[in-house]
A and B are shown apart, each in its own frame.
Chain A
Amino acid sequence: MATEKVLTSNIRPDLSYVDIAAYESSGGYEGLRKAMTLAPGQVTELVKQSNLRGRGGAGFPTGMKWSFVPMGADAPRPKYLVANADEMEPGTFKDRLLMEGDPHELIEGMATAAYAIQADVAYIFLRGEYLLSAERLRRAIAEAYERHYLGKNILGSGYNLEMHVHLSGGRYMCGEETGLLNALEGKRANPRTKPPFPQVSGLFGKPTIVQNVETLCNVPHIVKNGPGWFKSLGKTQDSGTKIYGVSGKVKRPGLWELPMGTTVREILEAHAGGMRDGLKFRGVLPGGASTDFLVADHLDVPMDFTGVAKAGSRMGTGTMIVLDDHTCPVGMVRNLEHFFAQESCGWCTPCWSGLAWAEKALSAMEDGQGQPGDLAHLEHICRLCAPGNTFCALAPGAVEPLQSALKYFREDFERHIAEKRCPWRSHE
């Protein structure tokens, strides 16, 4: 079945730079041009009707978020729009493709979103290690200024927008939207109390919208082609296309833009080529490190917000990490908890202390030193870190792979403890 490519249609097989002329010749900046003929509120309305939901992990309805921004002459200024290009969720590699492969699409998406909320300044908060993205985005921003898609009096509309790239100093917490705002202000990336919500009081205390790269890239297409078209792209009730990814021991790891709601099975088998020869599928983290495992019973789950939630996990970023039968599930979860314990900002006790304990217990288990009470203790930590018990979503995300591994791969944990060794490690 031929799939309509929306976000990735300009991306070249060799990933070479797509300049502004090439972007315009394939219809680029028409979404922004059209937006400029509408009132800002009408643009927000289109995005609302399209049912676009955030692609950064949480799936919050995008248009609704914009509608909380104070508008009109009395609104506080300057207002800000920030692209969350931090992409630090382990196993996630989709935003890099969009920024390297077609940087103007993000810039057009940002300019269009910024117009809708009447932002004055836009920042791209970019992972410090994404140097090629930085170079291409800066080049594309300069081209866009030259063609009056950015700067003063954009396309003669009287609307002004500045755009800058900020390269992050590192740390996973920078991707959390309020941690990100602190980082942009030159502070430690600790999260902030909500309310006030960033839409009302965000960057430098002004109204701010933070949106994932992939989310923003959808915006000009919605404005140009309409919400009905956007809804029709998805296979299920969740609209649009989605950039899905697969890593791990499959035949063809990679990224594919497919209709929202494509099943896990189709992505793993038809696109990623199935498991490597001699290996069996055991499970998958459907949307990055901070999502619950799905197992063979879930292969026919549609990869959309609703479907994956029904199966007990989250679509998250839509980039899957596959666990095969030659890889130790305990070792995999140990690796994940090492990451989360290291990246905890240290504010809440269940997070910093619980995750550090979990990492230590899992390491001990791997080294043949697991104790019979460990599994109950790990489950207790999962409950302590449940949503609502900590200041931000890092801790609840951190225990999603752990709690689901304890459920689906319990016998593997028990074997580690009973046999006092990791059954997957070659005998030393």
Chain B
Amino acid sequence: MQAQEDLSVLSPDERQEIEAELGHYPNKRAVCIDAMKVVQRHRGWVSDESLRDIADLLEMSADELDSVATFYNLIFRKPVGRHVIMVCDSVSCWVMGYDRLRERLMKRLGVKVGETTADSRFTLLPIVCLGACDHAPVMIVDDDLHHNVDAENLDEVLEKYK
């Protein structure tokens, strides 16, 4: 029989980053959210295979881990595009023109909120208040927060992400 290790899809880097987190908590399962985020940082999302390997590493069942994964909106269990747009749909952004921004985004990308463009360039997701309400409307693309996004500067922002 092949050793478990060989079947694992986790890369050495992913393993190492997860193991570094283990030192911060008194038990293995406490690391599971951090571990899924490590994998997501490397692969964009958490596949069934990744989920199984993380569960093995942390001595949990895959089902148990999946029930945690599905609770949290920042853990993606489906593939996403090369860039993820998260547009704030909370109250201050709504007052400052979220509806117009959403329409514009959907038209420009040809997708609805929750979908990925046909060329896999962008996934468009809603997000709750990003704590930048004095610069509303705002959105995040990948790791970058963009302030005061409106119909005029939207194209310019999107151009940065190929």
Contacts and interface: CB of A to CB of B under 8 A. Distances in A.
B36 A169 contact: yes
A51 B135 CA distance: 33
B133 A131 contact: no
Nearest to B136: A247
Q: Which of B94, B95, B132 has the most CB of A within 10 A?
A: B95
A169 B74 contact: yes
A28 interface: no
Contact of B92 (A95, A162, A248): A248
Which size class do A's interface residues fall under? 35 or more
Given A128-B74, A169-B71, A90 B129 contact: yes
Nearest to A133: B131
Contacts of B34: 166-167
Contacts of B127: 129
A186 B68 contact: yes
A101 B32 CA distance: 30
Contact of B95 (A95, A187, A321, A342): A321
A319 B89 CA distance: 18
B24 A164 contact: yes
B134 A87 contact: no
Interface string B33-53: 110110000000000000000
A168 B75 CA distance: 10
Contacts of A168: 33, 72, 74
Contact of A169 (B67, B72, B133): B72
B62 interface: no
B86 A129 contact: yes
A275 B34 CA distance: 43
Interface residues of B, number: 40
Q: Which of B36, B96, B129, B136 has the most CB of A within 10 A?
A: B129
B125 to A, nearest CB: 11
Nearest to A87: B131
A341 interface: no
A335 B134 contact: no
B19 to A, nearest CB: 15
Nearest to B91: A90
Interface in A160-214: 162, 164, 166-172, 183-189, 204
A129 B130 contact: yes
A170 B68 CA distance: 11
B158 interface: no
Nearest to B74: A170
B129 A89 contact: yes
B29 to A, nearest CB: 5
B142 to A, nearest CB: 10
A162 B24 CA distance: 9
A91 interface: yes
A255 B135 CA distance: 11
A336 B129 contact: no
A249 interface: yes
A351 to B, nearest CB: 16
Q: Which of B27, B91, B132 has the most CB of A within 10 A?
A: B91
Contacts of A189: 71-72
A254 B134 contact: yes
B133 A336 contact: no
A127 B72 CA distance: 12
A204 B27 contact: yes
A169 B91 contact: no
Contacts of B92: 90-91, 247-248, 321
Contacts of B80: none
Contacts of B132: 93, 96
B90 to A, nearest CB: 4
Interface string B70-106: 0111110000000000100111101110000000000
B37 A167 contact: yes
Q: Which of A90, A167, A170, A204 has the most CB of B within 10 A?
A: A90
B66 to A, nearest CB: 11
A186 B91 contact: no
5 contacts: A89-B129, A129-B131, A169-B37, A169-B72, A321-B133
What are the 4 closest A-B residue pairs judged by CB atoms, nearest first?
A169-B72, A247-B133, A170-B74, A253-B134
Given A166-B33, A188-B68, A321-B133, 9 more contacts: A91-B129, A169-B74, A170-B74, A186-B31, A186-B68, A188-B67, A189-B71, A247-B134, A253-B133
Interface of A: 78, 87-93, 95-96, 127-132, 162, 164, 166-172, 183-189, 204, 245-249, 253-255, 285, 289, 319, 321-324, 327, 331-332, 335-336, 338-339, 342-343
